[in-house]
Structure formats: structure tokens, C-alpha cells
A and B are shown apart, each in its own frame.
Chain A
């Protein structure tokens, strides 16, 4: 190995930081572009895009675009719907998929290998191919709600939530993670008298912080970006999520300033979610220290 002289090391460090800064910039520029332009009138915005001014808070700045965006569309409703649908789905999905993975990894039952392969096979099926059959199914499904028996799930929250709870990828993530946990932990808990539910609840889940965080982030992204499915199953404005709401801003004349304002608004929950999870993520890794 080459000698690590102090100078040599300094250069390495500088290069490393330079690369990191570059990557950070690549990720930050679109956000900056969106935020800055949401403050500018459309004419200035279009003029600025050809120069670096697009990334700078210069010229005629105001919150007018935000006011107009709220006038044009029920932004609050869209954000609420998306946050609700996403939140419920993420939590339900982590619960259901981790339970499924638990039974695949730790319980002994006939056919689990085959069933797991079938579930993994679903990973390669694009959603677009099953969208129409799924639509036909959900349009005829019964539901027992406050008003008694109803037929058809269209124009509801549940139609946006339930089909998305169980998915192969999340199950796969959990299966992989559980397989790497020391099997003696489960055996020790069993010998100590824990039921399977207690093993799941008291031993496996507390050690699953990292995979819960990963699963939550992936699911969040899928759910918050839902477009095609809500577009075909939800016609009522009051149940629409944010991505479908974006259509309100692409009428005959695209008001780019308002688009940027709307995008800035709907990005806020994403940032909040990410920051919250990042802390939980780091905390869980630090506190468990799964290493023997």
C-alpha cells in the first residue's frame, strides 16, 4: 500500500469532500429552482431560466403564487388526502408485511417456500398491467361501513389504501433482514416461554429499526407519488391526492409560478417525513447494535 503521508491524506480528504459537495449540489439544485421560482411571477421566471438567476432570490419576489395556487385548487384537501392515505398505508404495510415475513422465516409450515417464490415473482409485474383488472375487482367489492352494506370501493380512501398494503418488495426486505438475525435469539425467547406473537413483538420488532425505516421510506415514496391508480378510481375532488391535483395547474395556460408554489407545498410533508425518519433510523441503529 502507498504510504499515507499527511499531505497525501489531506488531498484524499479534499477530493472526498469535493465529490460529496458536487453530489449534494446535484440534489439541491432542483429543489432550489422550485423554491426560488415559486416566489417569482411567471414572466420573470421564464426569463430567468436561461441563466443562473433561476437559482437565486432576485427580482420581484412575493407569495402571490401561493395565494393563487390555493385559489385554483383545494391544495389543503389534496395534501391531507395524500398524507392520510400514505400514512395509513405505510403503517399497515409495515405491520402486515413484517408479519408475513416473520412467518416465512421463523414458522414451519408446508408450502412456505413455494408461496414465498410466488410472492417474489410478483415483483416483476408492472402495476400498469394489473390496473384494469384491479379496477374491475374493486368496483364490485362490498364494504360494511357506517351506512351498512355498500357495493364498490370507487371514490373512497380505502380503495387508495387497501390494495397497496401488502407488497412483495416490502415482504422481501423483511425476509432478508430476519434471515440475518441470529436464530438463537428466537430460540432463546421460545425456550424462555415466549409465544410467537411475543417473539415478534418483544424480540424481532425492536431489532428491526433499520428495515422498518427502509421499508417506510420506500413505501412512502410509492404512496405519495400515486397517480395512475387514484386517477382511475377516484373521480370526486374530495378524495384526490396531490399528484392528481397537479393536473389542475396544467390547463390551457400553464401558470409556472403557481406550479412551482404547489410543488413546494406538496414537498413539505416529504421533507418532514424524511427528517423524522432519519432521526429514528440513526437512533435505532445506535441503540440496538445488533452486533454480538
Chain B
């Protein structure tokens, strides 16, 4: 079991800086998810932890030991790749046992460990097959099995489920969650998928352009995003950003409004918001509710588009000042395009950002 700690970690490929000073503390047994847009450096960071890319600057500690210059095999890690990377010329059994075979583990012990891993992953019946005879989900299981048998202190996953279809992805997601509970090992998991991030993570690290935007528990990030990027990145549909004028600021509360928004007081949460300045009001679509009676902070507009999903109705509203917001109502509703609509929200569920909060 091991803590993982990154201090001022940087990576350059030639002149291209890809990771630009990253500090992350990962506790023993924690499930940490790296999320971020494509190309932000998630895989690179994970590969640096694995030892597949060397570290240009900064220190990486695993289990209290600096491992910058330690070979991958001596870092106590196991890695599961997006493309599975199982060896096509070996049977499932040989694949799972590969690391043990290399280490020269005695036959009996090896068989025992492979059997135990196969039991955990429910793939005992697949052991004598070849990878070409497996489905995508089964291949991923083999890759995970190969990681489990070596009993690593840290598991690294690089988008392990992205090649699977939606249903299978959900099954495997639950299984990985269970696996984490069962093994109690530290896990670092890279994904594009918000649901995976929100459900699996003890801690989410949001990355952008090789920098950490925010790190914290999923709910912390969801309810208290540190900046506009994190606010917009987590949650689906993503948060509405409404450009507003600040009428007054008093005691941590700012009175904001615009042509389509009736005045409302929202907490500034310590951000640099001053009377007379522009600010950005963030409200998640789920917190916008249709209101027939005038209310504080009412948004006025016309329905432009409705998507009925059954349990939920997603509505696009063109506001009177020309901007648009998305609202998600937790019920089935019929709203014809062109319908006048007023949307209200609880200011405690709204976020106010200064222009400077754009990373």
C-alpha cells in the first residue's frame, strides 16, 4: 500500500511543455481520477507515474520513496491500458501470469494466484482461450487480471473502459469500484467520462493544459468549483454562464442583474467582485425551475428547443438579452417552441465568478 505524491512535476517533449508543474497528494488506498479535455496531459502524467515517460523536473514519490529514476517494474505499480495491451500469442492464463513468470514465481504459487484473480474477475472459464477469442469486456478483464496477480501497491488505469459499449462500461465501472473496495489498493484512473469520475473517485483531479485546475472530492468540485473551467467541465448538461452587472456588493453578497435577469443577491465566496464590474453567474440546468409568479432573479425568455428524455426534459431558452440557457426539469413536460417562460433559481445553488476566474 502506498501514498503517491507529485511535487512540481513537469514534462517537456523537446520544446513542447506538456505538464507544467503539477502537485498532487494521493493518500494510501485512495481512488483518484484524472479528468480533463483531450490533450491536457492526463495520459502523460499517468505514464510518468508508471515510469514509461521520464520526469523532466520535480519529484515523484511512491510509498515515501522518490522514484524518479526507478524502473517501472520496481515502482510497485501495475498499469491497465486503454487498448488492453494483452499479448495476442499467449492464452489468457499465460497473459495473467506473465509478470509472475518473469519473476520466476514457482508453478504452484503462480497457479494459485492466477486462479484467485480469475475468481475475482469471474473469468475462470476463459483461462485457456486466446485473446482473439474474447470480447472487448473480457479482454479488459484479462488486462485487469494481469495487474491484480502482481499485488501492486498502486494501480494505474488509462481510460480502461473507453473502448467498450455503454452497457458494458457500466458493468465494468461497478466492478472496478468493487475491486477497489476488495483490494484496498491506491488507484489512479484516467477518464473522459464524468460519470466514471463522479461515481468512482474519492478524489478528482481536473487538469487543463498540463496544470491542475482543482483537486477534491467529487461533491466538493461539483458544488464548489474553484473556477469557470471546473464549473463548466463537471456536470451534464454543463453549467449555464450568464454575464451579469454587479449593482452592489455588501457583506459577501452581490446584487447582480442584466436585461433578462431580475436582480438577485448571490454570495461572492471571496471572489474579486466589485460594484459596477461585470461578473459571471453560474447556474446548473438542474437548478433552474419554471416559475409562473414573479420571483427574485427570474430569467425571462422564450423556449427555443425541447428534448424530452422521459424522466427529464431538457429545454433551451433564448433569453431576452439574446443569450441562451439550458434548463433540465426532472419530469416530462411539453413546451412548444416560442412559449414565454420564466426561470427561477435558489441563489444558494448559484455561483458567482469574476472575469479573472477564467483560467
Min C-beta distance of A288 to chain B, whole Å: 5
- A191→B102 contact, CB < 8 A: no
Q: Interface segment, A60-68, A115-123, A179-187, A267-275?
A: A179-187
| 9 A-B pairs with the lowest CB-CB distances in the bound complex, closest first | A193-B73, A184-B85, A192-B99, A188-B85, A289-B132, A206-B89, A191-B72, A184-B81, A193-B102
Bound Cα distance A119, B168 (Å):
49
A88 contacts partner chain B, Cβ-Cβ < 8 Å: no
- A193→B52 contact, CB < 8 A: no
Q: Which residues of A contact B132 (CB under 8 A)?
A: 289, 291
Bound Cα distance A182, B84 (Å):
11
- A191→B88 contact, CB < 8 A: no
Of B77, B99, B103, which is in contact with the most chain A CB atoms at under 10 Å from its CB? B99
Residues of chain B whose beta carbon lies under 8 Å from any beta carbon of chain A:
50-52, 71-73, 77-79, 81, 83-89, 98-99, 102-103, 130, 132, 146, 150
Smallest CB gap from B72: residue in A: A191
Dominant SS at the A interface? Answer: helix
Bound Cα distance A187, B53 (Å):
10
Tell me which residues from 276 to 292 in chain A have a Cβ below 8 Å from any Cβ of chain B. 287-292
- B102→A184 contact, CB < 8 A: no
Smallest CB gap from B158: residue in A: A184
A207 contacts partner chain B, Cβ-Cβ < 8 Å: yes
Q: Which residues of B contact A190 (CB under 8 A)?
A: 52, 71-73
| Interface residues in A, total, Cβ within 8 A | 22
Q: In the complex where A182-B83, A184-B81 touch, is A192 in contact with B89 (Cβ < 8 A)?
A: no
Tell me which residues from 207 to 222 in chain A have a Cβ below 8 Å from any Cβ of chain B. 207
A105 contacts partner chain B, Cβ-Cβ < 8 Å: no
Q: In the complex where A187-B52, A192-B99, A192-B102 touch, is A288 in contact with B72 (Cβ < 8 A)?
A: no
- B146→A192 contact, CB < 8 A: yes
Bound Cα distance A82, B78 (Å):
50
A189 contacts partner chain B, Cβ-Cβ < 8 Å: yes
- A187→B85 contact, CB < 8 A: yes
Min C-beta distance of B104 to chain A, whole Å: 10
Smallest CB gap from A192: residue in B: B99
Bound Cα distance A292, B132 (Å):
8
- B89→A193 contact, CB < 8 A: no
Min C-beta distance of B131 to chain A, whole Å: 8
A203 contacts partner chain B, Cβ-Cβ < 8 Å: yes
- A187→B81 contact, CB < 8 A: yes
Of B71, B78, B81, which is in contact with the most chain A CB atoms at under 10 Å from its CB? B81
Bound Cα distance A194, B104 (Å):
11
Bound Cα distance A192, B156 (Å):
13
Bound Cα distance A192, B87 (Å):
12
A176 contacts partner chain B, Cβ-Cβ < 8 Å: no
Bound Cα distance A239, B205 (Å):
71
Bound Cα distance A190, B77 (Å):
11
Min C-beta distance of A109 to chain B, whole Å: 14
Bound Cα distance A287, B103 (Å):
26
- A191→B77 contact, CB < 8 A: yes
13 contacts between A and B (CB under 8 A): A184-B85, A188-B81, A188-B85, A188-B86, A190-B72, A191-B79, A192-B146, A193-B99, A193-B103, A206-B89, A289-B88, A290-B88, A292-B88
5 more CB-based (< 8 A) A-B contacts, given A187-B85, A191-B52: A185-B87, A190-B52, A193-B99, A289-B132, A292-B88
A198 contacts partner chain B, Cβ-Cβ < 8 Å: yes
Bound Cα distance A189, B146 (Å):
11
Bound Cα distance A254, B146 (Å):
68
Of B77, B89, B103, which is in contact with the most chain A CB atoms at under 10 Å from its CB? B89
Q: Which residues of B contact A189 (CB under 8 A)?
A: 87, 98
- B89→A191 contact, CB < 8 A: no
Bound Cα distance A288, B86 (Å):
12
Min C-beta distance of B183 to chain A, whole Å: 17
- B52→A182 contact, CB < 8 A: no
**CB contact between A191 and one of B78, B87, B130 (< 8 Å): that residue:** B78
Smallest CB gap from B152: residue in A: A191
Q: Which residues of A contact B71 (CB under 8 A)?
A: 190
Bound Cα distance A206, B50 (Å):
25
Bound Cα distance A72, B146 (Å):
65
